[in-house]
Amino acid sequence: MVGAGVVGLSVAHELARSGHEVRIVAAREAPDSVSGVAAAIWFPHDVDHSPAVLDSAAVTYRRLAELAGDPRTGVHLRRGTVLSRRAEVDTSWTRAVPHTEPAGPDGLPAGASGIRCTVPLVETSTYLGWLRETVTGLGVRIRAAEFASVGDVLRQDDADVLVVAAGLRSAALLGDDDVSFPIRGQVVRLANPGLTDWITDDDNPGGLTYVVPRRDDVVCGGTGDVGSWDEQVDPDVEAAILRRVTELVPQLAGQPVLSRAAGLRPGRAGVRLEAVAGHDRPVYACYGHGGAGFTLSWGDAARVAALIGASET
């Protein structure tokens, strides 16, 4: 496999659990990849809401909800509000969530509506370490290496099957995909004044806005700059994020900044989860999860394992 982000580790887990011997090569470990920048709340964001995506989101919801029972995982179930400021509200995602209800008007911005629900929240610093440990506990070996192409990987590794789960760089590795693109996201993490409820406000007139309280901080975002490869934090963008989140959640005013980050979501015109022809051994692609890599991780990992299993029978 190529890739040790949340998607690669989840796929490795499901393959190892179904009896495969799995090796991962990855340029960087998950905390130093895009997976380490995420908020990471369960929500199918920056990804199409096709039936396959919503099925994967539902499978992942259930798996993460189970994991929330184990404090070592860093997964929690948290209540919050999905705000909308448009007449036609996309509620397709609600079918992947056990229970939702309309938010009362109190505290909502003028003209906005809201859906209240409980979803898994992943504390990435704990979860990615737990996932890596669990995966290596299943016998998966992880080696640091960077490759320019799938051909190079196949020349250097005698694996029977190769899975490419390299996030945004997957398209370049495979060389047959021109519908992948970065979606730049910037966040600023503030000290948590005691918040537990999250809120997302995609239609905020100032730009994508969200507040995701975690145990030790509050992740405040964001941006969704399609096509931008800029991984540097922009202070003007941060100031604008702080203005918007403080307007939405006044308790955040004056909270100290703990850290800041920018990352490139692996955008694509549809998640790519399929066998890729044209190589001397079977190659599978699993990438293009946009702002939903955590949200789709377990569902898509199970689908990759099923695809590979079906090809072997």
Ligand X SMILES: Cc1cc2nc3c(=O)[nH]c(=O)nc-3n(C[C@H](O)[C@H](O)[C@H](O)COP(=O)(O)OP(=O)(O)OC[C@H]3O[C@@H](n4cnc5c(N)ncnc54)[C@H](O)[C@@H]3O)c2cc1C
In SS3 terms, 190-255 reads as ECCCCCCCEEEECCCCCCCEEEEECCCCEEEECCCEECCCCCCCCHHHHHHHHHHHHHHCHHHCCC
Instruction: Candidates 1, 3, 12, 299: give the one binding ligand X (CB under 6 A).
Output: 3
Q: Return the number of the residue (70 or 146) whose C-beta is nearest ligand X.
A: 146
Instruction: Candidates 61, 93, 127, 147: give the one binding ligand X (CB under 6 A).
Output: 147
Burial class (CB within 10 angstroms; exposed 0-12, middle 13-18, buried 19+) of 10: buried
Least separation in angstroms between residue 110's CB and ligand X is 26
Q: Which stretch binds ligand X (CB under 6 A): 3-11, 90-98, 101-109, 125-133?
A: 3-11
Q: Residue 265 in 3-state DSSP? A: strand
What secondary structure letter does DSSP report for 167?
A: G
Q: Return the number of the residue (105 or 196) whose C-beta is nearest ligand X.
A: 196
- Residues 59-118 interacting with ligand X (rule: CB under 6 A): none
Residue 7 near ligand X by CB under 6 A: yes
Pair 295, 220: CB distance under 8 Å:
no
Angle made by CA atoms 183, 186, 192, in degrees to the nearest 5: 140
CA 79 to chain CA centroid, Å, is 19
Q: Residue 36 corresponds to which amino acid?
A: G
Residue 237 near ligand X by CB under 6 A: no
Q: Which stretch binds ligand X (CB under 6 A): 38-46, 68-76, 93-101, 272-280?
A: 38-46
CA distance 286 to 183: 18
Q: Return the number of the residue (223 or 255) whose C-beta is nearest ligand X.
A: 223
Angle made by CA atoms 172, 290, 270, in degrees to the nearest 5: 75
Strand partners, 115: 82, 102
- Residues 191-220 interacting with ligand X (rule: CB under 6 A): none
72 is in an annotated binding site: no
CA distance 16 to 144: 19
- Residues 277-306 interacting with ligand X (rule: CB under 6 A): 287, 289, 291-295
310 is in an annotated binding site: no
Residue 15 near ligand X by CB under 6 A: no
127 is in an annotated binding site: no
Residue 224 near ligand X by CB under 6 A: no
Residue 260 near ligand X by CB under 6 A: no
Pair 251, 193: CB distance under 8 Å:
yes
Instruction: Candidates 74, 120, 182, 263: give the one binding ligand X (CB under 6 A).
Output: 263
CA 279 to chain CA centroid, Å, is 29
Instruction: Candidates 13, 14, 33, 96: give the one binding ligand X (CB under 6 A).
Output: 33
210 is in an annotated binding site: yes
Helices (H), the chain: 6-17, 51-67, 124-137, 150-156, 170-174, 235-248, 293-312
User: How many of the chain's residues bind ligand X (CB under 6 A)?
Assistant: 40
Residue 174 near ligand X by CB under 6 A: no
Instruction: Candidates 146, 216, 230, 274: give the one binding ligand X (CB under 6 A).
Output: 146
Least separation in angstroms between residue 105's CB and ligand X is 26
Burial class (CB within 10 angstroms; exposed 0-12, middle 13-18, buried 19+) of 21: exposed
Q: Which stretch binds ligand X (CB under 6 A): 12-20, 30-38, 78-86, 228-236?
A: 30-38
> What residues form the annotated binding site for D-dopa?
210, 265, 291
> What residues form the annotated binding site?
210, 265, 290-295
Give the footprint of ligand X on this chain (CB under 6 A).
2-8, 25-28, 33-35, 37-41, 146-147, 165-167, 169, 173, 185, 187, 221-222, 263, 265-266, 287, 289, 291-295
